[in-house]
Structure 1
């Protein structure tokens, strides 16, 4: 909803987070996987519409970066909202699995760097 809602009004990202600009925790990276808890806790507070949109997208595991892209919201806003959901017991967060202790593929890293340089 960063662009506008159904009525065409502009919704500023800070309004979605209640004016917060920093997440309350450091659990989330771009590739952290989040999943909605099923069933949702009955005792939890009422949700904002953006929280509900996130929960719908998290019915199956989804990476934080993909979630932000699907919702068309800035990463910083999505992470703050995810912190709310995690703290209320509505989602689970799983950090990326560590890679084996293999040496990095330097040729692949060079290609990625070159590709990013062309953007």
Structure 2
């Protein structure tokens, strides 16, 4: 979105956020999952949204991405995408869900029993 191959970006990241440095939603993490909100009609480009937010909405159309993935695709810093996504969340144009927490430690005994059961099935 911002740039030239191998060169500096054409648009500095702070301009893509309108000069805003902190997201209005501090709970938005790098691994938060963003998805398009319930929109029946496409967002009007004249809806007073910056080009970077429109690009973010286009990326989320029909799918979901983490904040980090979105930043990579938009070629913007994660901090800028957090600001852009928070602005869209404030307008109910996107949804965000917290990252899935890591699973609890597995039970080694259960894994051994499953492996033994699979070996028994293989030999039958």
Both structures adopt the same fold (TM-score exceeding 0.5) = yes
Residue 65 (structure 1) aligned to one of 49, 56, 68:
68
Aligned pair count reads 100
Partner residue of 2:91? 88
Matched, 1:77 2:77: no
Q: Which has the larger radius of gyration?
A: 2
What is aligned with 1:101? 104
Q: TM-score, normalised by structure 1?
A: 0.71
TM-score normalised to the size of structure 2?
0.69
Q: Which runs of 5+ in 1 are unaligned?
A: 104-119
Residue 28 to residue 41, structure 1, CA distance change in 2 (3 Å): farther
> What RMSD, in angstroms, separates the aligned Cα atoms of the two structures?
2.6
Runs of 4+ in 1 over 6 A off after TM superposition: none
Q: Deviations over 1:57-99 (max 9, x none)?
A: 1120111111100111111111100010000000000111223
What is the 5 A alignment of 1:1-119? Answer: 1-3=1-3, 10-39=10-39, 45-59=47-61, 60-102=63-105
Q: 1:100 offset after TM fit, Å? A: 3.2
Give the corresponding residue for 1:115: none
